[in-house]
Structure 1
Amino acid sequence: MRSADGTRLHVEIHGRADAPTIVLTHGVLCSLGFWRRQITDLRAGHRVVAFDHRGHGRSEVARRGRYTVEHLADDLHAVLAETVPAGRPAVLAGHSMGGIAILAWANRYPGDIAARARAVALVNTTPGEILDNVRFLRGPERLLGARRRVARTVAPLAGIPLPRRMPVRRRLLAHIAVGATAAPRIGHELDRIIGATSARGRGGYGAMLVNLVTALDPAALTVPTVVLAGRKDKIAPLARSQLIAAALPQLIALHELDSGHCAPLECADEVTAALRELSRDRGESISSPVETA
């Protein structure tokens, strides 16, 4: 299928056609394979839709300049319009940049939220202001401005082709992206997925995230929502999830998981259980206090 600007998106649908739909959107540098555990565990009782963001996985590598928050929203909108049956809104789940995509979609297409989404899960994500809140290589607060300038200067280097296998990258990922107690196989799997991401997709959306200095409004997301956060997340720290949760009109719960930034890999069973619970027929919308688990 194609997005609004003609970019071809790779979409996969697993499970029964008549089952409740769950749409999965992955984070930057990854692909729909990041959700493999959730796809495997949910497809027996659900219709699971997963897609690759432009420049990632098997989706088309768009031209430079076509990697913006608006493109994130438009791509998700195209997927929902094509795969979510009329009158049967889906559960949407977004990890990291995938969560940003859902927030961007809700802000850009407010009139379509009720028709396409019955509930949402935001996993290890943030509404924006990323550089100011990451918990690695921070240095003194007085140098924050200089760090911003350096990051924006070097961001284009993310588009340089890299080898598929790179031991230094894997060690860096293990330190930054996953929790210290995560199984080594998770770091290996993440490195394999990232190594397969196109240079242009990596550079385009990497630069977009570095320059995302404003925040998307979580209040635009007007359906029941669960927020899943990692206590050891250095990329989208717990405080960012707490900020989102506080602004959501229909917060179900904020769940704190024993993970780093990759809860769908590190705490796969807990994430799957949260998605399965969201897809349950509740009969009416929910608005309840924050819970932690």
Structure 2
Amino acid sequence: MKPLTPEEERVIVGKGTEAPFSGKFYTHREDGTYCCRRCGAPLYRSEDKFDAGCGWPSFDDEIPGAIRREPDADGRRTEILCAACGGHLGHVFSGEGFTPKNVRHCVNSISLDFIPATKSEKRAAAEIRRDTAYFAGGCFWGVEYMLKKLKGVESVRSGYMGGMTVDPTYEQVCSHTTGHAETVEVVFDPTQVSYETVAKRFFEIHDPTQADGQGPDLGDQYRSEVFYTSPEQKAVAEDLIRRLEAKGYDVVTRVTPASRFYPAEEYHQNYYERKGSTPYCHTYTKRF
């Protein structure tokens, strides 16, 4: 992590807001990549920046997987954070009609660094080739094992999402007091496999009609849930559920915004590969 000034700390860590029209990137138009001031992760491309007249840098798209969304405590706005380090960036709004994408990421300049195109092309291209998805569907050992087999998936990591407890342990999640679900983080190359294909596979490796459980594993931590990171992912998940329902499936899968992902303990990662065994409650069933 890079050292921060007191003002950077106030905004990035303390979730503050810089004064409108004061940021160095508000009218900035150079070609390149906007990165997280704290950790350096690429966040936005210059071609997605536009002038909304609001006093802060505005973007109508993000580098896939770079941004995490969390509802504000008052439920009125959606906060955007760096997915890599959790640094506060600003807020995201939709339906304003500024651009055809109809989305505005309103970002504090102080939360950003900038790499001119001549230095950022290779780095930005590497990031653009990756996207991230989050799914919960029973024991994460089985979901991880099955999704890793899909061509274009680069990595799958087991963890926890959807609850309120910070840095939960496996024992806490199993106590049904955290609200978290056993979740997998899927990093994939969208030039090789689409989010729709990954989501289809998710619906075909677990039973989306079983509530709070999967096979013999019962409890709210084993619920079926899609955690979306963008409006596009939400639309795809909801469309797939409608298609399953049209086929007669009574789908109970929830579709909710992704929140902070907490990686599970190391002994949960690559469980079946390390044990040399196969899942006991996850199998492939063609549904589409």
Q: The TM-score by the shorter chain falls in which range?
A: under 0.3
Query: TM-score, structure 1 length as denominator?
Result: 0.25
Query: TM-score, structure 2 length as denominator?
Result: 0.25
Structure with larger RCO (C-alpha < 8 A, sep 6+)? 1
Identify the structure with the greater strand proportion: 2
Structure number, greater radius of gyration: 2
Identify the structure with the greater helix proportion: 1
